[in-house]
Structure 1
Amino acid sequence: MAFTSTTFLFLFLPILLLIYIIIYKFHKIELENLFLVIVSIIFYAWGGLQSCVLLIISIAINYVIGLLLDKWENAVVLRRSIFIIGIIINLGMLVIYKYSAFLISIVGSVGKSVDINFSMETTISSLPLGISFFTFSIISYLADVYSRKVIPQKNPIKLALFVMLFPKLIMGPIVRYSQIEKDFENREVNLHKTYRGLIRFVKGFCKKMLLANQMGIVADAIFSMQGGDNFVIAWIGALAYTLQIYIDFSSYTDMAIGLGNIFGFTFAENFDYPYVSKSIQEFWRRWHITLSSWFRDYVYIPLGGNRKGKARTYVNLGIVFLLTGIWHGANWTFIFWGIYHGFFLILERIRLREILQKAPRAVSHMYTMLVVIIGWVMFRAESIPQAIKYITSMFQFRIDNIWQLDFWKIMNRQYIFFFIISVICCIPAGKIRKKLCDNIISDLLLIGIFIFSIYFMLVSEFNPFIYLRF
């Protein structure tokens, strides 16, 4: 069930809010938690009962593992073995459901290259929604229990709520147990917080329907033309996708954080205007913050971080961004995208960062955006050859075929308007933005835009979330 569906907006959410308000009047936190778990199961099961059963089994297994880590606290070897088994189980489920077909295809390709016939069919029909997100949340819980940063949750309902809380279940942000642990015991729900949560949700909804979707239509059309053999059209498509992926993902985060606020939870922010960055290192401090910090705390630092010399630091960065690419999907394009970003991060560590700090702000920003945009083309392409062809068209500086009818039917005045608004939304406006966004007049204006967005939702058939497949 998507946040941008009529079922969610006009049926699920209103009924949920009404019942939750009634339950909240009893001041029984256990009843509120149980209700939200049941609601989250219904929400997730809407997309597939089999996936929901898998998630419940995963929660049960990790609940037991958490208790065992607590029980055998003084048995170092046994405790470490239990933790490793837990990690293997969680990563094993992720590999089986997300990467098995990809791995089988690699084995098949290798077999053909050495004249060995290999054929194997996978019986997994669909990827459970949000499996990458909830798997990382669960692993962070086990890791924090193992390192004694948190006390294992002995109430299965509360652990289930941590994993399944529906606003962040499918597309994050990747919430850690320690961040919302206190909310399971006592959380405040009041009119002001609910109102601001609804406003945050509405802002995300409007960004999704009016901006991300419009940029997506342009990007899909141009990428289907492989850039149109024209560098102007190719760049427009690349820029449209650059805007789409940021606004699409950040709009979902806005809606998730807003819904969390309504029910008394505070989720971590996931974006901080990444397109104003002046280096790739800064970009990753601003982009998908919860994923970046997850890899930093649970992979990079345990590997040694930057504490074991320059060479080891470069290796650790390479490993982290290889895994970052793999996390995003079972395709060589994601793997090369991760390696690509890791390469520039290593370059910046070696020498480039010092050069960028001395360079004019415009130069460092242009460098960063050029690297990011080319990376997004690789990320968006279906295959490496397609990515190479598209990137080549961006730098051939050909202007023939610029009047292709298929392109100009799409890139009309409406999309040019939304393109400009999308660019503005990627730039922090500081005090002006705060002044405009934090008063009742702007909220009333937002309600009008929300109604307009609902119209777009009803008349448009284009409504995917990019990160829904991860």
Structure 2
Amino acid sequence: MSLETPLFLFLFLPAALGGFFVLPRRARPFVLLLASLVFYAMGEVSALPGLAASILGNFALGLALERSRGTDRGRMLLALGLAANILFLALAKYLAFAVSALPFLPAMGVDAVFGPPPLGISFFTFQAVSYLMDVSRGGIAAETSPVRFAVYLSFFPKIAAGPIARYATMLPGLLDPRPGLADFAAGTTRFAVGLAKKTLIAGTLGPVADAAFSPRPLGGPLDMGTAWIGLLAYTAQIYFDFSGYTDMAVGLGRVFGVTLPENFDHPYVSRGVREFWRRWHISLSTWFRDYLYIPLGGGRVSPARVRRNLLVVFVLCGLWHGANWTFVVWGLWHGAFLVLERTRAGRVMDKAPPALRHAYALLAVMLGWVFFRSADLAQAGNYLAALFSFRLDGLEYTWITSVTRQAMAAFGAALVFSLPAGGLFRAGGDIVARLGPPGRGVVFAARALAPAALMLLSVMQLAAGTYSPFIYARF
């Protein structure tokens, strides 16, 4: 089950809201836990024991770390906890990749006996690791309530595709979830915006990207025009798909009185790859910074070790996304640009005109998406070759079949909403409101009716289109 399916929107969510607001306030953590476990089971019931084992094991380890903080036993327990979590993630997600990449493993009797990785395993495992490390460092106290801890790891709005929440961020809402009317209104508005991003923009542009990235494009060999249209579509699709999910998760969190971290800050306005990673998937990039890059020495070591640290971090960042060489290369691609931006060439680029720096960052990120989207390295190589082939023989077919009026409208909306347009909309609302009571009435009506209109349009799109799961739900 996903956040944008009719089953979730019209059955699960009303039932969860009803139980949350009707039952006594002291029962709310239990309602959230029950809703989260039911949500997870409806998505992948066979993975429920693995999630339960992670919850119980990390809860017990947290209490033990609290009692042994600063001692050799505490350091041993932390190492044990980190190893157990990483091993769980590796066996569930990467064993098949390791067997295929290392031919000697089958000869030693190692085989990929696991099926697909459990839903959201990368997200809840990284949350568990951050919790154990924060408890060990003394940044937070270990949770004494198994119910609250279980909600922290399994909270249903974020279990499938994040964001990766720190325990300190969620704790106030877990202790006493008391959302008010303003929280409910702001949360439902945020949810409606996220659903519209997913269905109206990402859902519309997805088929355009799929057609270009298909192993056998219907219009014949991939030409330059089709390749760029497909890459532009995927660049918009992955942003609005993932940021749409984040908006829905953050909005639902606020409705239930639980704070979730922001995950995006208009990444496509970046003027460098380093800035891009301060704006894209913020919860993941800060996790790698705080729990891997800084422990490796961060930027305080020699330049050679800094470059090594960056490459190590981004190779692992690529692998976090999936067990495929394409993700490894994607991680190396970004790591290489981050290394480059710390050299003399990066300092020269910092002095270039803003438009040139923006074009550089956007081109670097978009070419990186080729590896991220491709099924294998061979397809990625063919796609990159097509981008610079200067052949346009299939463009007319693509334009007729894929670039519909709806797709062009989605491209336009993607361009507008990739920019920080919120300030412009607020400024426009303020200008209209200054016209007096009629203007204030228009602004009030727009703020009240816009979320409902977005929800209606999104549901209509869902009813008319083909179901497409969130891209990051498979990570």
Cα deviation 1:438-461 (Å, max 9, x = unaligned): 854144133223212101101211
Tell which deviates more after alignment, 306-315 or 373-382: 306-315
Offset of 1:118 from its aligned partner?
7.3
Asked if the contact 1:279/1:353 (under 8 Å) is kept, the reply is no
Asked if the contact 1:221/1:407 (under 8 Å) is kept, the reply is no
Alignment of 1:185-334 (within 5 A): 185-224=175-214, 228-334=221-327
| 1:434 counterpart (422, 426, 437) | 426
Structure 1: where are the runs of 5+ without partners?
none
Asked if the contact 1:173/1:290 (under 8 Å) is kept, the reply is yes
Residue 37, structure 1, aligned to residue 27, structure 2: no
Q: Distance in 1 between matches of 2:7 and 2:427?
A: 34
Q: Distance in 1 between matches of 2:445 and 2:56?
A: 45
Q: Distance in 2 between matches of 1:318 and 1:121?
A: 29
Offset of 1:120 from its aligned partner?
5.4
Asked if the contact 1:130/1:171 (under 8 Å) is kept, the reply is yes
| 1:54 counterpart (23, 30, 50) | 50
Amino acid at match of 1:423: L
1:449 corresponds in structure 2 to 454
Q: Distance in 2 between matches of 1:94 and 1:436?
A: 48
Asked if the contact 2:238/2:471 (under 8 Å) is kept, the reply is yes
SS in 2 for 1:427: coil
Output the TM-score relative to the length of structure 2.
0.93
Tell which deviates more after alignment, 455-464 or 235-244: 455-464
Cα deviation 1:106-133 (Å, max 9, x = unaligned): 122x68xxxx967754221221110000
Distance 1:183 1:462, change over 3 A: closer
Alignment of 1:30-429 (within 5 A): 31-73=27-69, 76-108=71-103, 121-224=111-214, 228-404=221-397, 408-429=400-421
SS in 2 for 1:127: coil
2:436 corresponds in structure 1 to none
1:3 corresponds in structure 2 to 3
Amino acid at match of 1:362: A
Q: Distance in 2 between matches of 1:152 and 1:67?
A: 6
Asked if the contact 1:226/1:386 (under 8 Å) is kept, the reply is no
Offset of 1:73 from its aligned partner?
3.0
Output the TM-score relative to the length of structure 1.
0.94
SS in 1 for 2:395: coil
Distance 1:56 1:396, change over 3 A: same
Tell which deviates more after alignment, 135-144 or 351-360: 351-360
SS in 1 for 2:396: coil
Q: Distance in 1 between matches of 2:32 and 2:245?
A: 20
Q: Distance in 1 between matches of 2:90 and 2:226?
A: 38
Asked if the contact 1:226/1:389 (under 8 Å) is kept, the reply is no
Asked if the contact 1:222/1:407 (under 8 Å) is kept, the reply is no
Q: Distance in 2 between matches of 1:107 and 1:424?
A: 46
Asked if the contact 1:133/1:171 (under 8 Å) is kept, the reply is yes
Q: Distance in 2 between matches of 1:118 and 1:138?
A: 32
Q: Distance in 1 between matches of 2:408 and 2:377?
A: 30
Asked if the contact 1:210/1:418 (under 8 Å) is kept, the reply is yes
Asked if the contact 2:193/2:454 (under 8 Å) is kept, the reply is no
Alignment of 1:16-35 (within 5 A): 16-23=16-23, 26-28=24-26, 31-35=27-31
Q: Distance in 2 between matches of 1:73 and 1:300?
A: 23
Q: Distance in 1 between matches of 2:216 and 2:142?
A: 51
Asked if the contact 2:69/2:137 (under 8 Å) is kept, the reply is no
Offset of 1:425 from its aligned partner?
1.2
Identity of aligned residues (%): 41
Asked if the contact 2:192/2:454 (under 8 Å) is kept, the reply is no
Amino acid at match of 1:44: Y
Offset of 1:144 from its aligned partner?
0.3
1:460 corresponds in structure 2 to 465
Q: CA RMSD in A?
A: 1.7
Tell which deviates more after alignment, 407-416 or 318-327: 407-416
Asked if the contact 2:172/2:258 (under 8 Å) is kept, the reply is no
Tell which deviates more after alignment, 53-62 or 425-434: 425-434
